[in-house]
Protein backbone atom coordinates (compact mmCIF):
# COMPACT_ATOMS: atom_id res chain seq x y z
CA UNK A 1 0.00 0.00 0.00
CA UNK A 2 1.27 3.45 -0.96
CA UNK A 3 0.93 6.11 1.74
CA UNK A 4 1.50 9.86 1.57
CA UNK A 5 1.80 12.20 4.54
CA UNK A 6 1.33 15.96 4.76
CA UNK A 7 0.69 18.65 7.36
CA UNK A 8 -2.81 20.03 7.69
CA UNK A 9 -3.29 23.04 5.43
CA UNK A 10 -5.92 25.74 4.96
CA UNK A 11 -7.32 25.57 1.39
CA UNK A 12 -4.38 23.45 0.09
CA UNK A 13 -2.95 23.68 -3.41
CA UNK A 14 -2.80 21.37 -6.40
CA UNK A 15 0.42 19.61 -5.40
CA UNK A 16 -1.23 18.54 -2.14
CA UNK A 17 -4.20 16.94 -3.89
CA UNK A 18 -2.14 15.46 -6.70
CA UNK A 19 -0.20 13.56 -4.05
CA UNK A 20 -3.39 12.53 -2.28
CA UNK A 21 -4.85 11.27 -5.53
CA UNK A 22 -1.84 9.03 -6.18
CA UNK A 23 -1.81 7.59 -2.67
CA UNK A 24 -3.81 4.65 -1.36
CA UNK A 25 -3.78 6.17 2.13
CA UNK A 26 -3.22 9.82 3.03
CA UNK A 27 -2.10 10.69 6.55
CA UNK A 28 -2.76 14.19 7.86
CA UNK A 29 0.24 15.19 9.96
CA UNK A 30 -1.53 16.97 12.80
CA UNK A 31 0.65 16.35 15.87
CA UNK A 32 3.87 18.09 14.81
CA UNK A 33 4.95 21.61 15.69
CA UNK A 34 3.01 24.44 14.11
CA UNK A 35 5.14 26.61 11.82
CA UNK A 36 4.40 30.31 11.39
CA UNK A 37 4.39 31.83 7.92
CA UNK A 38 3.80 28.46 6.26
CA UNK A 39 0.62 27.17 4.60
CA UNK A 40 -0.96 25.64 7.67
CA UNK A 41 -3.15 28.70 8.20
CA UNK A 42 -3.03 30.44 4.83
CA UNK A 43 -3.16 29.95 1.08
CA UNK A 44 -3.46 31.96 -2.11
CA UNK A 45 -6.40 32.86 -4.32
CA UNK A 46 -6.43 34.57 -7.72
CA UNK A 47 -7.28 38.25 -8.05
CA UNK A 48 -7.27 40.78 -10.93
CA UNK A 49 -3.88 42.00 -9.63
CA UNK A 50 -2.33 38.52 -9.41
CA UNK A 51 -3.02 36.82 -6.11
CA UNK A 52 -3.64 37.39 -2.43
CA UNK A 53 -3.36 35.35 0.75
CA UNK A 54 -6.33 34.20 2.75
CA UNK A 55 -4.81 33.99 6.23
CA UNK A 56 -6.68 32.60 9.22
CA UNK A 57 -5.35 34.46 12.28
CA UNK A 58 -4.14 32.25 15.13
CA UNK A 59 -3.16 32.67 18.76
CA UNK A 60 0.59 32.09 18.81
CA UNK A 61 2.15 34.56 21.26
CA UNK A 62 4.00 32.61 23.92
CA UNK A 63 3.00 29.29 22.38
CA UNK A 64 6.16 28.49 20.47
CA UNK A 65 6.05 24.71 20.75
CA UNK A 66 2.36 24.07 20.18
CA UNK A 67 1.32 21.31 17.81
CA UNK A 68 -0.84 21.97 14.77
CA UNK A 69 -3.83 20.28 16.40
CA UNK A 70 -3.46 22.56 19.46
CA UNK A 71 -3.42 25.91 17.64
CA UNK A 72 -6.40 28.13 18.41
CA UNK A 73 -7.89 30.58 15.95
CA UNK A 74 -8.03 34.26 16.85
CA UNK A 75 -11.74 34.88 16.43
CA UNK A 76 -11.61 38.42 17.80
CA UNK A 77 -11.62 39.78 14.23
CA UNK A 78 -14.14 39.13 11.47
CA UNK A 79 -11.80 37.08 9.32
CA UNK A 80 -14.45 34.54 8.25
CA UNK A 81 -16.58 37.26 6.66
CA UNK A 82 -13.51 38.79 5.05
CA UNK A 83 -12.46 35.47 3.51
CA UNK A 84 -15.95 34.73 2.27
CA UNK A 85 -16.20 38.18 0.71
CA UNK A 86 -12.78 37.79 -0.96
CA UNK A 87 -13.88 34.51 -2.54
CA UNK A 88 -17.19 36.00 -3.67
CA UNK A 89 -15.59 39.12 -5.11
CA UNK A 90 -12.83 37.33 -7.02
CA UNK A 91 -14.72 34.26 -8.24
CA UNK A 92 -18.30 35.41 -8.81
CA UNK A 93 -17.77 35.12 -12.58
CA UNK A 94 -15.92 31.79 -12.45
CA UNK A 95 -17.87 29.09 -14.35
CA UNK A 96 -18.49 26.86 -11.33
CA UNK A 97 -18.85 29.53 -8.64
CA UNK A 98 -22.64 29.18 -8.43
CA UNK A 99 -22.42 25.43 -8.01
CA UNK A 100 -20.01 25.52 -5.07
CA UNK A 101 -20.54 28.85 -3.31
CA UNK A 102 -23.51 27.76 -1.14
CA UNK A 103 -21.32 25.04 0.41
CA UNK A 104 -18.50 27.58 0.91
CA UNK A 105 -20.95 29.90 2.69
CA UNK A 106 -22.00 27.00 4.91
CA UNK A 107 -18.35 26.22 5.66
CA UNK A 108 -17.72 29.78 6.83
CA UNK A 109 -20.95 29.91 8.83
CA UNK A 110 -19.58 27.42 11.36
CA UNK A 111 -17.76 28.37 14.53
CA UNK A 112 -14.20 27.06 14.66
CA UNK A 113 -12.06 27.17 17.79
CA UNK A 114 -9.08 25.23 16.44
CA UNK A 115 -7.14 25.82 13.26
CA UNK A 116 -7.15 22.06 12.63
CA UNK A 117 -10.95 21.97 12.43
CA UNK A 118 -10.99 24.83 9.92
CA UNK A 119 -8.23 23.28 7.82
CA UNK A 120 -9.97 19.91 7.78
CA UNK A 121 -13.23 21.55 6.66
CA UNK A 122 -11.48 23.13 3.67
CA UNK A 123 -9.56 19.95 2.84
CA UNK A 124 -12.73 17.85 2.99
CA UNK A 125 -14.56 20.36 0.78
CA UNK A 126 -11.86 20.28 -1.90
CA UNK A 127 -11.31 16.54 -1.66
CA UNK A 128 -15.00 15.94 -2.34
CA UNK A 129 -15.20 18.61 -5.05
CA UNK A 130 -12.21 17.11 -6.85
CA UNK A 131 -13.70 13.62 -6.64
CA UNK A 132 -10.78 12.16 -4.66
CA UNK A 133 -11.68 9.00 -2.77
CA UNK A 134 -8.38 8.28 -1.02
CA UNK A 135 -9.00 7.29 2.63
CA UNK A 136 -7.40 9.52 5.25
CA UNK A 137 -6.08 9.09 8.78
CA UNK A 138 -4.41 11.41 11.29
CA UNK A 139 -0.87 10.97 12.54
CA UNK A 140 -2.12 11.55 16.10
CA UNK A 141 -4.02 8.25 15.83
CA UNK A 142 -0.74 6.29 15.77
CA UNK A 143 1.11 7.75 18.78
CA UNK A 144 4.45 7.90 16.96
CA UNK A 145 7.16 9.80 18.87
CA UNK A 146 10.04 9.64 16.39
CA UNK A 147 11.04 12.74 14.44
CA UNK A 148 12.07 13.61 10.88
CA UNK A 149 12.49 10.68 8.45
CA UNK A 150 12.08 8.13 11.23
CA UNK A 151 8.67 9.56 12.10
CA UNK A 152 7.43 9.24 8.51
CA UNK A 153 8.76 5.71 8.15
CA UNK A 154 7.21 4.69 11.47
CA UNK A 155 3.85 6.17 10.47
CA UNK A 156 3.93 4.22 7.20
CA UNK A 157 4.75 1.00 9.05
CA UNK A 158 2.04 1.61 11.66
CA UNK A 159 -0.52 2.18 8.89
CA UNK A 160 0.50 -1.00 7.07
CA UNK A 161 2.06 0.81 4.11
CA UNK A 162 5.07 -0.59 2.25
CA UNK A 163 5.64 2.48 0.06
CA UNK A 164 5.92 6.17 0.93
CA UNK A 165 5.12 8.82 -1.68
CA UNK A 166 7.02 12.00 -0.88
CA UNK A 167 7.03 15.44 -2.39
CA UNK A 168 10.16 16.05 -4.46
CA UNK A 169 11.16 18.98 -2.26
CA UNK A 170 11.89 16.56 0.58
CA UNK A 171 14.87 15.13 -1.29
CA UNK A 172 16.95 17.77 0.46
CA UNK A 173 16.34 16.35 3.93
CA UNK A 174 14.78 12.86 3.88
CA UNK A 175 17.11 9.97 4.68
CA UNK A 176 16.42 7.11 2.22
CA UNK A 177 18.31 4.67 4.46
CA UNK A 178 15.70 5.04 7.19
CA UNK A 179 12.96 3.89 4.83
CA UNK A 180 15.09 1.11 3.38
CA UNK A 181 15.86 -0.19 6.87
CA UNK A 182 12.13 -0.20 7.67
CA UNK A 183 11.36 -2.12 4.47
CA UNK A 184 9.45 0.78 2.93
CA UNK A 185 9.96 1.83 -0.68
CA UNK A 186 10.55 5.56 -1.11
CA UNK A 187 8.85 7.08 -4.17
CA UNK A 188 8.97 10.70 -5.31
CA UNK A 189 6.06 12.77 -6.53
CA UNK A 190 6.54 14.19 -10.00
CA UNK A 191 4.26 17.18 -10.32
CA UNK A 192 4.66 20.25 -12.51
CA UNK A 193 1.86 22.85 -12.50
CA UNK A 194 0.21 23.27 -15.88
CA UNK A 195 -1.75 26.28 -17.06
CA UNK A 196 -5.54 26.08 -16.73
CA UNK A 197 -8.29 28.68 -17.32
CA UNK A 198 -8.47 31.25 -14.53
CA UNK A 199 -10.98 33.99 -13.82
CA UNK A 200 -8.65 36.78 -14.92
CA UNK A 201 -6.21 37.24 -17.83
CA UNK A 202 -2.83 35.62 -17.47
CA UNK A 203 -1.97 32.61 -15.36
CA UNK A 204 -0.78 32.42 -11.77
CA UNK A 205 0.51 29.01 -10.63
CA UNK A 206 0.42 27.58 -7.11
CA UNK A 207 -3.00 28.86 -6.12
CA UNK A 208 -5.27 27.04 -3.71
CA UNK A 209 -7.05 24.14 -5.40
CA UNK A 210 -10.21 26.18 -4.79
CA UNK A 211 -9.12 28.31 -7.77
CA UNK A 212 -8.97 25.24 -10.02
CA UNK A 213 -12.29 23.85 -8.78
CA UNK A 214 -14.26 27.07 -9.25
CA UNK A 215 -12.81 27.62 -12.72
CA UNK A 216 -12.75 24.08 -14.11
CA UNK A 217 -15.30 22.09 -12.13
CA UNK A 218 -15.48 18.38 -13.08
CA UNK A 219 -12.48 18.77 -15.42
CA UNK A 220 -10.23 19.76 -12.52
CA UNK A 221 -8.65 16.32 -12.25
CA UNK A 222 -7.04 16.88 -15.67
CA UNK A 223 -4.59 19.22 -13.93
CA UNK A 224 -3.83 17.09 -10.86
Alpha helices in 28-114 (DSSP H): 79-91, 97-109
- Reported as half-sphere exposure (CB side, CA atoms, 13 A), residue 24 has a value of 9
pLDDT in tens, 24-46: 999 999 999 999 889 999 999 99
Q: Which of 158, 139, 129, 97 is nearest to 17 (CA)?
A: 129
Average pLDDT on 39-56 reads: 97
Q: What is the pLDDT of residues 170-185, one digit of tens each?
A: 998 999 999 999 999 9
Q: What is the mean pLDDT of the chain?
A: 95
Specify the length of the chain in residues: 224
Q: Is the pLDDT of residue 62 over 80?
A: no
| Residue extents of the structural domains in the chain | 2-223
Whether the predicted pLDDT of 159 surpasses 90: yes
Strand partners, 168: none
Whether 61 has a pLDDT exceeding 80, the answer reads no
What does the DSSP 8-state code read for residue 71? Answer: P
Compute the average pLDDT of residues 203-213.
97
- pLDDT at position 37, please? 82
Amino acid sequence: MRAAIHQLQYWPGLRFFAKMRRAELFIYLDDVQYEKREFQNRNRIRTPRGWQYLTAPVVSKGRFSQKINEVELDNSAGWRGDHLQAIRMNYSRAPFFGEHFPAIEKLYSRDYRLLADLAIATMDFLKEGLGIRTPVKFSSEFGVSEVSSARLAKLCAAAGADEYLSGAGAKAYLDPNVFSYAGIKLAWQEFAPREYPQAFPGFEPDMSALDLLLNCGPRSTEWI
